[in-house]
Amino acid sequence: MTSGVLFRHPSSLEHDTGSGHPERRARLEAIDQALAAQEWFGYAVRESPAATAEQLAAVHPVSYTDGLQALCAGGGGWIDGDTVTSEASFEAASRSAGGACALVDALVAGQPFGASVHRPPGHHAEAAQAMGFCLLNSVAVAARHAVLGHGLRVAIIDWDVHHGNGTNDIFAADPEVLFCSIHESPLYPGTGPVEDMGSGAGMGYTVNLPVPGGSGDETFCSLVEHVIVPLLAEFTPGLILVSAGFDAHADDPLADCAVTDAGYARMAGALRSYAVSAGVPIGVVLEGGYDLGALTRGLGATLAAVAGAAPDADPAPTLDEHPLASAARERLSGSWPALSARRGE
């Protein structure tokens, strides 16, 4: 099995959200303990650098990052009813974005797969607004770094149960980035309808796939296998990034979906299969997930599948096309002709 690379930094443990907050340091403590017990699934573990000013400014206005840094330097405080900072929060967020950028550099340099495992998460952060536990949009900073720094087209696959509104809006008009999101609806932040397909030159490169509460492996996996993988084949990215939240898990307290460990392994395995066949590197960027057991098992299953290891629970080798996937193929086929072909054609 080929070795991948995993970026992390101890500052993730110092971002203090206070007692009772679901996005807490125990998330990373549990991940570190679980992955270390599995010898990091063979990934080479590296320390994340801080994002450079140039990397951040390609997504976030300098006035925003300066203000966020000043807030944290002053001891931190609440930004909204969900999102709080402490003195160490800016460094934690910067290392999260910097680790994602370093992951991109490692993938471009020849690593076939890898991961960036930090907190706080990032996909809700808009260009100039923190929200939803997120301060800096790490996956967006990494994708923009891949586009501007390496000349790559990037596909971002977001399976966090909450819509990645920040990533969605940052790349809405950018045809160099394909953004695909599977998310529960209705649910916070209340964005990501199927009608939101991007704007201007980026029209059609935003693909929102909302699912109802209670959706599980069959729905999520079918949307990946029958919609997203054909989209990747037509878009032909030079890099795939997965915004990997684990709050669609059946055990997560913040949503109502029912994905299992095996479901995450299957989704990751489907993306890996495409990546290997296309010769494209794939990177996993941690987002949400608030039940510690579900988080560590889901992430472990994902990392193992991306690395090519067989999952503990192997689902059926074929999967019927879910009605939501069929509807999405029909809806999107005008922009993406590959979706008009039926399976096997």
Could you tell me how many residues make up the chain?
A: 345
Beta-bridge partner residues of 151 = none
Q: Which residues, in sequence order, are CB contacts of 271 under 8 Å at separation 6+?
A: 157, 224, 228, 229, 232, 240, 242, 282, 306
207-219: string of b/e by CB count within 10 Å (b at 16+)?
bbbbbeeebbbbb
The answer to whether 284 and 272 are in contact (CB under 8 A) is: no
For the record, the structure tokens of 11 come out as 């500052």
Backbone angles phi, psi at 193, to 5 degrees: -70, 165
For the record, the structure tokens of 313 come out as 């629970």
Question: How far is Cα 252 from Cα 234, in angstroms, rounded to an integer?
Answer: 34
Cα dihedral sign for 160, 166, 169, 170? negative
3-state secondary structure 150-192: HCCCEEEEECCCCCCHHHHHHCCCCCCEEEEEEEECCCCCCCC
The answer to whether 197 and 203 are in contact (CB under 8 A) is: yes
Question: How far is Cα 245 from Cα 302, in angstroms, rounded to an integer?
Answer: 11
Report the phi/psi class of residue 181: left, alpha or beta, with left for phi > 0 and alpha for psi in -120 to 50: beta
Q: Which of 15, 118, 123, 124 is catalytic?
A: 124
For the record, the structure tokens of 102 come out as 């370093």
What is the signed CA dihedral for 318, 195, 185, 135, rounded to 10 degrees? 100
The answer to whether 60 is a known catalytic residue is: no
| Active site amino acids | 124
